[in-house]
Chains A and B, each alone.
Chain A
Amino acid sequence: MSDNSASAYWKANLRLVAFCLAIWFIVSYLFGIILVEPLNEYRLGGYKLGFWFAQQGSIYTFVVLIFFYAWRMNALDRKFDVHEE
Chain B
Amino acid sequence: MELQTLTYIVVGMTFALYIGIAIWARAATTGEFYVAGKGVHPVLNGMATGADWMSAASFISMAGLIAFNGYGASVFLMGWTGGYVLLAMLLAPYLRKYGKFTVPEFIGDRFYSRTARIVAVLCLIIASITYVIGQMKGIGVAFSRFLELPFDTGLYVGMAIVFFYAVLGGMKGITYTQIAQYCVLIFAYTVPAVFISLNLTGNAFPQVGLGSQMADGTYLLDKLDLVVQDLGFDKYTTAGMENKLNMFVYTLTLMIGTAGLPHVIIRFFTVPSVKAARFSAGWALVFIALLYTVAPAVGAMARLNLTTTFQGEDGQGMVYEERPQWVKNWEKTGLLKFEDKNGDGKITYVADKATNEVVKIDKDIMVLANPEIAKLPNWVIALVAAGGLAAALSTAAGLLLAIASSISHDLLKGVFMPKISEKTELLASRIAMAGAVMVAGYLGLHPPDFAAGTVAIAFGLAASSLFPALMMGIFSKRINRSGAVWGMLAGLGVTMLYVFQHKGIMFVPGTAFLGDMQPNWFFGITPNAFGAIGALVNFGVAFVVSRVTAPPPEHIQHMVEHIRVPAGAGTAVDH
Contacts and interface: CB of A to CB of B under 8 A. Distances in A.
A59 B81 contact: yes
Interface string A1-23: 10000100110010001001100
Nearest to A73: B278
Given A44-B211, A66-B285, A29 B293 contact: no
Nearest to B225: A48
Nearest to A72: B278
B78 A54 contact: yes
B275 A62 contact: no
A84 B81 contact: no
B74 A74 contact: no
B50 to A, nearest CB: 12
B78 A84 contact: no
Contacts of A36: 71
Contacts of B268: none
B90 A17 contact: yes
Contacts of B565: 1, 6, 9, 82
B221 A47 contact: yes
Interface string A62-73: 110111011001
Interface string A23-43: 010001100111011001000
Nearest to A54: B74
B238 interface: yes
Contacts of B66: 55
B237 A28 contact: no
Contacts of B279: 67, 70
Q: Determine the main DSSP class of B at the interface with A.
A: helix
Chain A contact-residue range equals: 35 or more
Given A21-B89, A29-B248, A70-B278, A58 B78 contact: yes
Contacts of A62: 81-82, 84-85, 285, 289
Interface in B72-106: 74, 77-78, 81-82, 84-85, 88-90, 93
A20 B85 contact: yes
B281 interface: yes
A66 B84 contact: yes
The interface residues of chain A, by DSSP majority, are classed as helix
Contacts of A84: 273-275, 566-569
Contacts of B77: 54-55, 58-59
Interface string B257-278: 0000000000000000111001
A77 B567 CA distance: 9
Contacts of B90: 17
A39 to B, nearest CB: 12
Contacts of B78: 28, 32, 54, 58-59
Given A46-B219, A83-B566, A84-B275, A63 B282 contact: yes
B82 A58 contact: yes
**Most chain-A CB neighbours within 10 Å: which of B274, B279, B282, B286?**
B282
A70 B78 CA distance: 21
A18 to B, nearest CB: 10
A28 B93 CA distance: 24
B564 A59 contact: no
Contacts of A67: 279, 282
A29 B78 CA distance: 9
Contacts of A13: 564
Interface string B276-305: 001101100110010011001000000000
Contacts of B281: 66, 70
B247 interface: yes
Contacts of B538: none
Interface in B185-236: 207-208, 210-213, 219-222
Given A28-B82, A66-B85, 5 more contacts: A1-B567, A28-B78, A40-B237, A56-B293, A83-B567
30 contacts: A17-B89, A17-B90, A20-B85, A20-B89, A24-B85, A28-B82, A32-B74, A45-B211, A45-B219, A46-B212, A46-B220, A46-B222, A47-B221, A54-B77, A54-B78, A56-B293, A59-B77, A59-B293, A60-B293, A62-B85, A62-B285, A63-B289, A66-B85, A70-B281, A73-B93, A77-B275, A82-B566, A83-B567, A84-B275, A84-B568
